[in-house]
Amino acid sequence: MSVVTINMNTINHLSSTCKIPNLQSPICFDRKPSSYSLIPLFPKTLNGFSYSSSVSRRSSFIIPKRRRFSVSMEVKMEVDVPVSVAYNFYLDRESFPKWMPFISSVEVLKDKPDLSRWSLKYNAFGQDIKYSWLARNLQARIHHSPTPNQKIHWRSLEGLPNKGSVRFFPKGPSSCIVELTVSYEVPALLTPVASVLRPFLESLLRGGLERFAALAKTT
C-alpha cells in the first residue's frame, strides 16, 4: 500500500507542475527513497512534453524535453493596385506595423539593409504575447537572384524561428494577387494551444492583407 501511495503522489505532483504553459524546464522530485522503477507509471508525453526518466536508490526525477512544433500557412488576396505598387509597398518593412496587427515595430539596420529587427506584441489566449527576431531579406543575397515585382523571401537568424515568402502575380494592368506564405516554430508558451494557432494566425494574416490592400491604394 505504501508503494502505491508514493507513486500516486508523484504522478499528481508531476501533473500539477507541468500544466503551467510558460514553465521552461520543470523538474519534479520524489524525495522519498525508492528502489523500484517508476518508468512504466509515466506516459511518454504529457501536456505537449516528452519525458525521460531515471531512478536511483535515493531519489527519482523526471526532466521534460520540449517537443518542437512547426506551423506553415498560406494566404492569398487580390489587391487593386498594379503589381509594381504592391511589391514596392511590401518592401517597406518599417511600414508593417501600420497594417499587420501583431507586428509592433520593425527596424531596418542602416549598415546592413538586408537585415531587420522585428517585434511582435499581441494579446491572445489569455496571454500578453511578446517575441522578437532578427531577419534577413534573402532577395538581395548572392545565392538568391532578385525577382523584382515577383517575390520577396526572408528567414530569421535569431530569436523566434520563422521564414516565409510573398509572391506577386499580375492579374491586369491595375490589380494583382498577393500570396503570403509563413512558416514558424511554435514557442513553448503557446504549445498547449498549438492545434488552434494555425486558423487563428491565418485570420490575422488575412486581416493584415486586407489593410495592406487598402493602404497600398493610397501610396
Is 45 found in the same domain as 76?
no
Residue 87 CA to residue 148 CA, distance in Å, equals 8
Residue 158 — pLDDT band, cuts 50, 70, 90? very high
Domain boundary residue, one of 26, 46, 66: 66
Residue 139 — pLDDT band, cuts 50, 70, 90? low
Mean pLDDT of the chain: 75
Domain boundary residue, one of 39, 66, 93: 66
**Greater confidence, 214 or 46?**
214
Nearest of 15, 37, 39, 34 to residue 26 by alpha carbon: 15
Give the per-residue pLDDT at 153.
Answer: 92
Provide the grid cell at 168.
506577386
Give the per-residue pLDDT at 45.
Answer: 43
Contact between 105 and 119 (Cβ < 8 Å): yes
Q: Please tell me the chain's helix, strand, coil percentages from 3-state DSSP, rounded to the nearest 5.
A: 30, 40, 30
Q: What is the mean pLDDT of residues 159-166?
A: 95
Give the per-residue pLDDT at 71.
Answer: 87
Provide the grid cell at 56.
536511483
Structural domain range at position 40: 2-66
Please tell me the total count of domains within the chain. Answer: 2
What percent of the chain clears pLDDT 90, i.e. is strictly above it? 51
Handedness of CA 28, 34, 37, 43 (dihedral sign): negative
Residue 1 CA to residue 4 CA, distance in Å, equals 5
Residue 113 CA to residue 137 CA, distance in Å, equals 9
Residue 55 CA to residue 35 CA, distance in Å, equals 8
- Specify the range with the lowest mean pLDDT, choosing from 110-124, 141-155, 161-175: 141-155
Query: Is 0.85 surpassed by the pTM of this model?
Result: no
Is the per-residue pLDDT at 191 higher than 80?
Answer: yes
Nearest of 156, 167, 135 to residue 70 by alpha carbon: 156
Is 104 found in the same domain as 84?
yes
What angle do helix axes 83-91 and 194-216 make, rounded to 10 degrees? 120
Give the per-residue pLDDT at 17.
Answer: 41
Is the per-residue pLDDT at 4 higher than 50?
Answer: no
- Specify the range with the lowest mean pLDDT, choosing from 8-12, 125-129, 148-152: 8-12
Is the per-residue pLDDT at 80 higher than 90?
Answer: yes
Residue 124 CA to residue 127 CA, distance in Å, equals 5
Is 14 found in the same domain as 53?
yes
Is 44 found in the same domain as 107?
no
Is 142 found in the same domain as 55?
no
